[in-house]
């Protein structure tokens, strides 16, 4: 039972990791599949043949979704995705609850879909994630900004990406500091609009020493 009440209109840090710290993403197809779910499952819209969209993204770095479908997701979404980072054995999201029960519906759909995909692909069974996802309420704007920095700097934990977090493909940092790859599907405005320009946010990320702000 989750010991937090999730309220409409509020922001939350959502995170989880693999069972026994196992990897939940093995290759680019896995990352792209989860990325698709967190972006396009914001509403109850059903997409057929997700594998086709994922293959296009792995090859061309776009999901090739019709704009009218994107608009439909945005118009009917029950959460906003503000920021994300996908790491080999865990993930972080900043979500805003748009309608009552929205985060619960969104996370159940996204995690169940990805677990089914992962278990089918790798011929496994049972739980992929370590228990229920964790949810921490973002109490104020300062916490929101530092949480975005903490999440976006996660890739520096990986030797290959140390000092290269701005280029990490499975984080929204590049969408904050370069072209937003996902348009209205990524509700970054609440954070990025507080900086005069992209360079200011880049400097904020580089100088931030935020560490696990969800712990206190």
Query: Which CATH architecture does the domain made up of 11-215 adopt?
Result: 2-Layer Sandwich (3.30)
Give yes or no for residue 160 having a pLDDT over 70: yes
In this predicted structure, the answer to whether residue 186 has a pLDDT above a threshold of 80 is yes
Mean pLDDT, residues 106-134 taken together = 95
pLDDT at 164 > cutoff 70: yes
Q: Is 48 exposed, middle or buried (0-12, 13-18, 19+ CB in 10 A)?
A: exposed
Which among 131, 169, 153 is positioned nearest to 213, based on CA atoms?
153
| For the chain, domain boundaries | 11-215
55-87 pLDDT, tens digit each = 999 999 999 999 999 999 999 999 999 999 999
Q: Are 70 and 139 in contact (CB under 8 A)?
A: no
Instruction: Write b or e for each residue in 165-184: b if 16 or more Cβ atoms lie within 10 A of its Cβ, otherwise e.
Output: bbebebbbbbbbbeebbbee
Cβ atoms < 10 Å from Cβ of 37: 21
């Amino acid at each position: 039972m989750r010991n937090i009440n999730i309220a409409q209109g509020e922001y939350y840090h959502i995170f989880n990791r693999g069972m026994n710290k196992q990897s939940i993403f093995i290759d680019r197809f896995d990352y792209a599949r989860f990325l698709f779910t967190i972006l396009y499952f914001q509403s109850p819209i059903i997409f057929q043949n997700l594998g086709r969209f994922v293959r296009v993204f792995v090859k061309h770095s776009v999901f090739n979704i019709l704009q009218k479908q994107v608009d439909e997701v945005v118009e009917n979404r029950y959460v906003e995705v503000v920021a994300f980072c996908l790491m080999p054995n865990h993930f972080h999201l900043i979500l805003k609850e748009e309608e009552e029960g929205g985060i619960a519906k969104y996370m159940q759909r996204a995690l169940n879909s990805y677990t089914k995909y992962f278990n089918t692909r790798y011929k496994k069974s049972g739980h992929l994630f370590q228990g229920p996802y964790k949810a921490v309420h973002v109490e104020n704007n300062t916490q929101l900004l530092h949480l975005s920095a903490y999440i976006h700097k996660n890739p520096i934990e990986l030797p290959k990406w140390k000092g290269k977090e701005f280029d990490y493909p499975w984080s929204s940092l590049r969408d904050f500091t370069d072209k937003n790859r996902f348009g209205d599907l990524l509700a970054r405005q609440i954070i990025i609009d507080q900086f005069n320009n992209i360079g200011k946010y880049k400097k904020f990320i580089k100088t931030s020493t935020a560490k696990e702000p969800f712990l206190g």
